[in-house]
Amino acid sequence: MNSIRKAGTIALLVGAFVLLAVAACVGTDPDVNADGTTDAAASADGSSNDQDGNSGADGAVSDAADGGDAAEGGPAPVPKSCDGVTGAGLSNCGPDGGESCCTTLMVPTGTFGRMDDGGAPATVSAFRLDRFETSVGRFRRFVSAVVVDGWRPPAGSGKHTHLHGGDGLVLADGSYEPGWDSASSASLPATQPTWDTNLACNATYQTWTSTAGNNEKLPINCVTWLEAYAFCTWDGGFLPSEAEWGYAAAGGSEQRLYPWSNPPTTSTIDCTYANYTGGSPCVVAGPNKGGSESPIGDGKWGHADLGGNVWEFALDWFVDPYFVPCNDCAQLAPATDKVSRGGSFNSGPSYEVTSKRFNRTPTVRGADTGFRCARAP
Ligand SMILES: [Ca+2]
């Protein structure tokens, strides 16, 4: 899709002056801000606001910030990418640079509407979702495992095996998620130079560097969907389903307009909440380090950057409308595009709305796109 045309679409949405400047900055990016999805500008509906104090302008940190309540799930796991090591992009995330980049937080079970009008309900069982988008430092350890150790995802891996008696998420036809297809393993480069070349998708905004440098705690971008899936599998988790991601962003049944909206219909957004393309004084400066706008921009359960910074791949193929009913479901019947969620440094406010969906070719690398992993509770 033509990148200039895409950027022009955004300009219509959020103001010609600011976004023409954006287009000028990133017009060579083959992958920024494609449209083709409906614009979700409103929040839902009448759901209650429990005022738990977990987020919002009061700056209170989520009560799950310590890794979750054991009563809601097991002890917080240590993802493989941070296991036994500290360093840049591993142990220096968050607003003060003192948090584990692998912090993973509980999300309790519940039901919410996937549509902005509360329609297309989905029930989501408790799970963990990483607090931050996956960092360059974490991804570097994964690349090493693939290149040096020859690691590849085992056949059938990456499933939500804590669900449906081990079968995982359920599909529209009643079958269950298949897990990793071994035929896909050939798409993971075996040499470091190939990774270096592949991850260099945008000279201005790419975050990967061939050797560790100043970008370690920035979100990895320029990845394919398969690479995101493989990372999460290696890291001991899985890509979140679209329903899981949306549920966490919306604060479950609160149906928050933005992840930080508390009360849930609050439409306040500025540069203190998210790294996105907005009016003055926001500027397009590329991805920033995980949790830069935390805690004010956190979601209900303490997750950072659910709105903005980089788009995040979900597990599902993009199919509109959603299928119902959905009880720990995913749309995994192959389609053209995968789902990404949450907007980016290069998208306007309407893209940071929690119900906003975005279709993205899974093999296309975008400087505006990364991911985060989910895990069993
Ligand atoms: Ca994000």
Per the domain annotation, does 15 fall within a domain? Answer: no
pLDDT band at residue 84 under the 50/70/90 scheme? confident
CA 173 to ligand 1 center in whole angstroms: 31
Per the domain annotation, does 18 fall within a domain? Answer: no
Per the domain annotation, does 30 fall within a domain? Answer: no
CA 362 to ligand 1 center in whole angstroms: 17
215 neighbors 74 (Cβ within 8 angstroms) = no
Per the domain annotation, does 47 fall within a domain? Answer: no
Tokens representing 305 are 């950057």
Query: What pLDDT is stored for residue 72 in this prediction?
Result: 61
CA 312 to ligand 1 center in whole angstroms: 6
Phi-psi region of 3 (alpha: psi -120 to 50; beta: other; left: phi over 0): alpha
Task: Look up the domain containing 316 and give its range.
Answer: 54-377
CA 310 to ligand 1 center in whole angstroms: 4
Tokens representing 364 are 């296309």
CA 260 to ligand 1 center in whole angstroms: 13
CA 111 to ligand 1 center in whole angstroms: 22
Q: What is the pTM of this model?
A: 0.83
CA 247 to ligand 1 center in whole angstroms: 14
Taking the C-alpha atoms of residue 177 and residue 159, their distance in angstroms, rounded to an integer, is 7
CA 135 to ligand 1 center in whole angstroms: 12
353 neighbors 117 (Cβ within 8 angstroms) = no
Per the domain annotation, does 41 fall within a domain? Answer: no
Per-residue pLDDT reduced to its tens digit, 34-82: 222 223 222 322 233 333 333 333 333 343 444 444 446 778 889 999 9
CA 1 to ligand 1 center in whole angstroms: 22
CA 149 to ligand 1 center in whole angstroms: 30
Domain count, the chain: 1
- Going by DSSP bridges, is the β-strand pair 110-113/104-107 parallel, antiparallel, or unpaired? unpaired
CA 311 to ligand 1 center in whole angstroms: 5
CA 59 to ligand 1 center in whole angstroms: 19
CA-to-CA separations, 210 to 196, 232, 319, 371, in angstroms, rounded: 6, 21, 36, 20
CA 373 to ligand 1 center in whole angstroms: 12
CA 303 to ligand 1 center in whole angstroms: 10
Per the domain annotation, does 100 fall within a domain? Answer: yes
CATH code, domain carrying 75: 3.90.1580.10
CA 174 to ligand 1 center in whole angstroms: 31
Average model confidence (pLDDT) across the chain: 84
Tokens representing 88 are 């840049």
Residue with the bigger pLDDT between 3 and 143: it is 143
CA 285 to ligand 1 center in whole angstroms: 15
Residue with the bigger pLDDT between 231 and 278: it is 231
Per the domain annotation, does 45 fall within a domain? Answer: no
Closest alpha carbon to 218 in 241, 233, 246, 199? 199
CA-to-CA separations, 346 to 80, 130, 163, 264, in angstroms, rounded: 30, 22, 36, 24
Residue 216 has pLDDT above 80, yes or no: yes
pLDDT band at residue 320 under the 50/70/90 scheme? very high
Query: What pLDDT is stored for residue 50 in this prediction?
Result: 31
Taking the C-alpha atoms of residue 116 and residue 124, their distance in angstroms, rounded to an integer, is 17
CA 175 to ligand 1 center in whole angstroms: 30
Per the domain annotation, does 48 fall within a domain? Answer: no
Taking the C-alpha atoms of residue 325 and residue 202, their distance in angstroms, rounded to an integer, is 40
